[in-house]
Amino acid sequence: MQQLHTVTVSDAGCPGFTAETVVNVNNCCSPEAGNTTVSSSNICPGTNITATAPGFNNAYNQTYILVNSSGTILQISSTGTFTAPSPCGIYTVYSYNYQAILLP
- Tell me: the pLDDT tens digits for 59-103? 899 999 999 999 999 999 999 999 999 888 889 999 999 988 766
C-beta separation of 85 from 68 below 8 A: yes
Instruction: Using pLDDT thresholds of 50, 70 and 90, give the confidence band for residue 11.
Output: low
Closest C-alpha to 63, from 91, 103, 28, 99: 99
Specify the pLDDT at position 52. 92
Query: Amino acid letter at 69?
Result: S
- Tell me: the pLDDT tens digits for 20-64? 666 666 666 788 899 998 988 788 899 999 999 999 998 899 999
Specify the pLDDT at position 39. 84
Q: What are residue 101's DSSP bridge partners?
A: none
Q: What are residue 38's DSSP bridge partners?
A: 51
